[in-house]
C-alpha cells in the first residue's frame, strides 16, 4: 500500500468517524437519556397512582358515609395507573433505552478498535458501523 493510499484511508476514516459516527453517537446518547427518563417517569407515575388507589380503597372501607366517593376515586386512580402502564408498554421505553445504550457501547468499541489495514478493512469497518446504526434505528 502506498503512502498516498494510507493518507487517503486515514482521511476517509477521520471524516467518517467525525461526521457519520460522532453525529449518530450523540443521537444515540440523547435517545438513551430521553427514553430512560420517560421510562422512569412512567414507572413512578404508575407506582404513585396504584399506591393512591390502595390508600383511597382503605379510606373507602373506613368511611361509611362517603364509601361510594372513595371507591370511585380509588377505581379512577387504578384506571389511570393502568393507562400509564399500558402507555409505557406500548412505547417500550426501557427496550428503546437499552437499544440506544447498546448502540453507544458498540460505536465506542468500534471507534476504539478502528479499521483493519487495507481497503477491505475499511469496507468491513464501514459495514460494521452501518449495521450498528441500522440496529439502533429500530
Per residue in 52-96, pLDDT (tens digit) is 999 999 999 999 999 999 999 999 999 999 999 999 999 999 999
Average pLDDT estimate for 93-108: 90
The pTM assigned to this predicted structure is: 0.74
How much is the pLDDT for 22?
84
Residue 6 has pLDDT above 70, yes or no: no
* pLDDT bucket at 23, cuts 50 / 70 / 90: confident
How much is the pLDDT for 116?
74
Q: How many residues does the chain have?
A: 138
All three cell numbers of 117: 489495514
CA–CA dist 34, 31 (Å, integer): 5
For every residue of 38-79, which 3-state class applies, written as one string? Answer: HHHHHHHHHHHHHHHHHHHHHHHHHCCCCHHHHHHHHHHHHH
Amino acid at each position: 500500500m502506498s503512502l498516498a493510499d494510507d493518507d487517503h484511508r486515514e482521511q476517509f476514516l477521520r471524516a467518517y468517524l467525525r461526521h457519520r459516527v460522532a453525529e449518530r453517537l450523540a443521537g444515540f446518547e440523547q435517545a438513551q437519556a430521553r427514553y430512560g427518563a420517560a421510562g422512569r417517569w412512567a414507572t413512578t407515575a404508575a407506582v404513585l397512582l396504584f399506591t393512591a388507589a390502595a390508600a383511597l380503597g382503605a379510606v373507602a372501607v373506613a368511611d361509611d358515609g362517603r364509601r361510594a366517593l372513595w371507591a370511585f376515586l380509588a377505581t379512577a386512580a387504578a384506571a389511570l395507573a393502568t393507562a400509564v402502564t399500558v402507555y409505557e408498554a406500548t412505547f417500550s421505553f426501557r427496550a428503546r433505552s437499552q437499544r440506544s445504550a447498546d448502540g453507544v457501547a458498540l460505536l465506542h468499541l468500534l471507534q476504539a478498535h478502528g479499521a483493519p489495514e487495507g481497503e477491505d478493512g475499511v469496507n468491513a469497518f464501514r459495514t460494521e458501523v452501518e449495521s450498528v446504526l441500522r440496529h439502533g434505528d429500530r
